[in-house]
């Protein structure tokens, strides 16, 4: 089990690190992410099954392929790797990945629907 958990940790870390630092790759970001996933599956598929995603691990539990104890251990490894990967990516790039609101956009204005004005929120929106 130790080798499986270490493989999940390393594979998830590399995969999510590529995701976290590929923001400036533009249209090549999906290619970089896909190649990283393919490399990690090739590296760890024969050891741990190369889940690298809690949803994949959960689906294998539902199919009866893995027991609940293994699910919990894999999830811990994947979530620790995710936290480490995005921390590492932040330290390298200086920003967090994802889609961010533009300059001057307040937290409240980015959450409300554009078609609704504040006066109409209670009645029609």
**100, 93 contact by CB (below 8 A):** no
- Distance, in Å, from the CA atom of 51 to the CA atom of 66, rounded to the nearest integer, reads 12
- Position 95 confidence tier, pLDDT thresholds 50, 70, 90: confident
SS (H, E, C) 4-47: HHHHHHHHHHHHHHHHHHHHHHHHHHHHHHHHHHHHHHHHHHHH
Identify the pLDDT of residue 60.
93
Taken in order of first residue, the domains within the chain and their CATH numbers are: 2-93 (1.20.1080.10)
Q: Provide the whole-model pTM.
A: 0.73
Summarised one tens digit per residue, pLDDT across range 57-84 is 999 999 999 999 999 999 999 999 999 9
- Position 112 confidence tier, pLDDT thresholds 50, 70, 90: low
Question: What mean pLDDT, rounded, does the chain reach?
Answer: 83
């Amino acid at each position: 089990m130790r080798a499986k958990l270490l493989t999940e940790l390393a594979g998830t870390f590399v995969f999510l690190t590529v995701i976290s630092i590929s923001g400036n790759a533009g249209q090549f970001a999906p290619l970089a992410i896909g190649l990283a996933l393919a490399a990690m599956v090739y590296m760890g598929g024969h050891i741990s099954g190369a889940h690298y995603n809690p949803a994949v691990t959960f689906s294998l539990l539902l199919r009866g392929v893995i027991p609940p104890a293994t699910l919990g251990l894999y999830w811990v490894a994947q979530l620790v790797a995710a936290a480490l990967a995005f921390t590492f990516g932040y330290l390298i790039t200086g920003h967090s990945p994802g889609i961010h609101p533009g300059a001057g956009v307040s937290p409240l204005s980015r959450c409300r629907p554009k078609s609704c004005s504040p006066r109409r929120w209670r009645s029609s929106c």
